Structure 1
Amino acid sequence: MVTARLRLEPVGPANAADLWLVHSDDAVWRWYENGRPSPEQAQQRATSMADSWRFHGVHKWIAYDRVSGEVVGRGGLSRTPVDDDWGQIYAFLPAEPWVRAAHRIRRPFVAHANWLEIGWALRGEFRGRGYASEIGRAGLAFAFDVLGVQAVVSCTVRHNVRSRAVMERIGMRYAGEIRSRGMVDGVEGEQDDAPHAVCVLLQRDWPGSRAPGGPVRPLR
């Protein structure tokens, strides 16, 4: 898939080194890890993402600059497990049966069928140039126009103001907070009950091709 400036490639084992380049960046790992991840951990994640692409038809992309080929970041969508943690999101979605329905393929885990999580992470040198919004809009287009899901949600720790700004910029709406494992402002290391801000966009509110940033086209 391509956008105005980026080539978005589904993450698989062949992208493990590039995934590590993103996740080990100082601008990224501090939001997700207690320490910088190893190349072996990146390889495991890349393999896991490939499994989700295979069985669930969606997961994250590595974002490459279309001109230079440089690794800009990673982002995109993922299906969420049907469990108590993600069940907190039900409160922010319509009280309709599709919200709790499970995906027909139960590998590599039992996932929600009709709504996805969206996210992004950029290497430090590429922040502040609108790339996160470009990846986010591409993800929304893929979710609604290609996969036909009913909703997309995005979660980030409360104090991640940059990510929250991107959510709003691409048209998502603040819905409330959940408590889950993550980083807490001013506290070292991951915590079990970190406050996470939740934004939601329903299919009926998706503006589609009217969103700024240019069209998203399949990669040829």
Structure 2
Amino acid sequence: MAEYTERLRLEPVGPANADDLWLVHGDDEAWPSYGNEKPDRLQVERWAASMGESWRSHGAAKWIAYNRVSGEVVGRGGLGRTPVDDDWGRVYDFLPAEPWVDVVHENRHPSVVHANWLEIGWALRHEFWGRGYAAEVGRAGLAYAFDVLGMEAVMSCTDHHNVRSRAVMERIGMRYAGDLWSEEFEGALGNPPLTVCVLLRKNYQRSPTTPAD
């Protein structure tokens, strides 16, 4: 089911959205901020299928963001379940020392993931940079995580030099938690460190600019 913000319609990604996901990840100015090399079309199709499966099995994954008026693809963003493995386990250092941190989601298909905290992220086509869309998607993701899914925490990480993404994290209320020095960490963009930001449920405040419906 789609979610709506002031300017965007957020559609859960699945195989049918592969063309639109490719518009984002195939953007020559956008992809260097989100990977070490430009993905090919087949890889993006696999991502779309994997996101669709995550929506079905775990109730959370990324959205495609469409302009509500023009229907243009603005970007993709939203939430992701994090695998229970040694790499993502390094994030425990940035979360409270509480039992919920390492609890496993009850559905272990297609992968074993954390039950009580999520990763959040965004990627925009370059022509939509600088207009506040990333923060709009981010706030919608936080609302979905805390108000709909009842998560205990949401985290995000980015290359330390990605000042745009770091600024968005701060703008939507996430707090700097530290730097992660790990070349092996999933999603690492070149050399470490990765900047990690976290928002706990107890510190979350709904933005008045994010509609509830």
Is TM more than 0.5 here?
yes
Q: Is the 8 A contact 2:24 2:75 kept in 1?
A: yes
Distance 1:81 1:214 in 2: 29
Runs (5+) with no aligned partner, structure 2: none
1:152 maps to 154
Secondary structure in 2 matching 1:9:
strand
The alpha carbon displacement at 1:212 in A equals: 4.4
Q: Is the 8 A contact 1:138 1:216 kept in 2?
A: no
The alpha carbon displacement at 1:98 in A equals: 0.3
| TM-score (norm: length of structure 2) | 0.94
1:214 maps to 210
Q: How does 1:102-121 map to 2 (within 5 A)?
A: 102-121=104-123
What CA RMSD, in Å, does the superposition of the two structures yield over aligned residues? 1.1
2:201 maps to 203
Aligned length: 207
Q: Is the 8 A contact 1:27 1:122 kept in 2?
A: no
Distance 2:70 2:18 in 1: 19
Identical amino acids, percent of aligned pairs? 66
Q: Is the 8 A contact 2:140 2:210 kept in 1?
A: no
Q: For 1:78-133, what per-residue CA distance to the aligned partner results, in whole angstroms no more than 9, with x for missing partners?
A: 11000111111111111111001000000111000000000000000000000000
Secondary structure in 2 matching 1:63:
strand
Q: How does 1:185-204 map to 2 (within 5 A)?
A: 191=191, 194-204=192-202
Distance 1:214 1:37 in 2: 32
Q: Is the 8 A contact 2:139 2:210 kept in 1?
A: no
From 43, 46, 50, the equivalent of 1:44 is 46
Runs (5+) with no aligned partner, structure 1: 185-190
Q: How does 1:117-156 map to 2 (within 5 A)?
A: 117-156=119-158
| TM-score (norm: length of structure 1) | 0.91
Higher deviation after alignment, 23-32 or 53-62: 23-32
From 162, 183, 188, the equivalent of 2:189 is 183
Distance 1:216 1:127 in 2: 25
Distance 1:160 1:212 in 2: 27
